[in-house]
């Protein structure tokens, strides 16, 4: 078996060519049926029938062989290139994950050293020096967060994430996260609301990963909600799923961007802080759990992000 055939079997988990054989075999029957209908039905001479029959069989076999080989080559090429692209994406993801991980250690060391300096462990400093050091620590914190985000994203894409699922009450996870964001919401005079259909909304999930999703969606909602606006989280049972809706009173998302905001490095407003990776990571995590996530515009004013997860 050559390399391409192995790739075909590896990608499709089956040999697809028997289906083509069946299709072409059925196609070859058509002219034979036509022949018997026209000549046998009309009482034609047996010798003439035999001659025409041989010709039809030859044409049918030739068409089958040519068509089969053509489609086989085409399918092999398509699958070969698809496999190469897939492998290339995996290698890029693994490289990005490796580089991101290598950056974490030196940044952590620099942060620790700067913290020692700020705490006067290496000698007294004036206020201006402390201010500069604090600024450096803040920058390193942002860099560290970006690296963590990239690492999470490419770990998922490279298939390096093992979900540690457990039965969790999503109502509790959401309540805890909302409590963390209350100070930020009050600072910007934004009403942070929640509504649950019932007290217990259990799903079997990786608790840490789902907390990350909730954190991203709440942070994103608050970021784009104007002062004196509102953000609400509504969770309820919908058939075999738990549906969570993160709504806010921001401006509607342009229709041409609704489908791309979950792509990497896509942001609605370049003036806003962020890497444009939060929604991409959220989508990957939710899909790993067998769920779905999308965004909708609220008719009058506002945006709604919807997450559905299988119930436990």
Mean pLDDT of 144-150: 69
Residue 14 has pLDDT above 70, yes or no: no
Q: How many residues does the chain have?
A: 312
Percentage of the chain beyond pLDDT 90 is 16
- What average pLDDT is seen over the chain? 76
Lowest mean pLDDT among 117-126, 134-143, 234-243: 117-126
- d(Cα 285, Cα 181) in Å, to the nearest integer? 21
- Give the ranges where the chain is alpha helix by DSSP (H): 3-12, 17-35, 46-118, 127-157, 170-187, 207-224, 255-258, 278-288
Residue 88 pLDDT grade (very low, low, confident, very high; cuts 50, 70, 90): confident
Question: Across the strands, what pairs with 303?
Answer: 248, 297
Strand 230-238 versus strand 241-248 pairing type: antiparallel
Mean pLDDT of 238-244: 92
CATH assignment, 165-310: 3.30.565.10
The full DSSP string for 232-279 is EEEEEEETTEEEEEEEE-SPPPPHHHHTTTTSTT--S-TTS-S-S-HH
pTM of the model: 0.59
Residue 186 has pLDDT above 80, yes or no: yes
- d(Cα 188, Cα 63) in Å, to the nearest integer? 72
Which is more confidently placed, 129 or 235? 235
pLDDT digits (tens, 9 = 90+) for 31-69: 666 666 666 555 555 555 566 667 667 766 766 676 677
């Amino acid at each position: 078996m050559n390399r391409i055939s192995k790739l075909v079997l590896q990608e499709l988990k089956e040999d697809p060519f028997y289906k083509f054989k069946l299709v072409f075999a059925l196609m070859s029957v058509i002219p034979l049926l036509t022949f018997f209908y026209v000549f046998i039905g009309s009482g034609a001479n047996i010798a003439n029938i035999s001659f025409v029959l041989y010709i039809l069989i030859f044409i049918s076999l030739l068409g089958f062989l040519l068509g089969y080989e053509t489609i086989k080559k085409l399918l092999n090429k398509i699958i070969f290139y698809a496999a190469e692209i897939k492998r290339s994406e995996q290698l890029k993801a693994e490289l990005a994950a490796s580089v991101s991980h290598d950056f974490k250690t030196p940044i952590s060391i620099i942060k620790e050293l700067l913290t020692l300096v700020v705490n006067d462990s290496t000698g007294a400093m004036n206020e201006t020096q402390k201010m500069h050091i604090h600024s450096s620590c803040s920058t390193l914190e942002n860099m560290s967060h970006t690296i963590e985000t990239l690492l999470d994203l490419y770990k998922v894409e490279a298939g390096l994430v093992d979900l540690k699922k457990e039965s969790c009450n999503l109502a509790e996870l959401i309540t805890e996260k909302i409590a963390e964001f209350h100070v930020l919401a009050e600072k910007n005079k934004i009403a942070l609301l929640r509504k649950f259909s019932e007290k217990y909304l259990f799903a079997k999930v990786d608790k840490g990963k789902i907390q990350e999703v909730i954190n991203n969606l709440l942070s994103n909602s608050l970021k784009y909600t104007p002062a004196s606006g509102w953000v609400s989280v509504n969770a309820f049972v919908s058939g075999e799923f738990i549906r969570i809706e993160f709504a806010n009173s921001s401006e509607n998302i342009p229709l041409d961007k609704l489908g791309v905001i979950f792509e990497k490095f896509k942001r609605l407003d370049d003036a806003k802080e962020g890497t444009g990776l939060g929604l991409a990571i959220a989508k990957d995590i939710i899909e790993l759990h067998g769920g779905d996530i999308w965004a909708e515009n609220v008719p009058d004013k506002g945006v709604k992000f919807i997450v559905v997860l299988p119930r436990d």
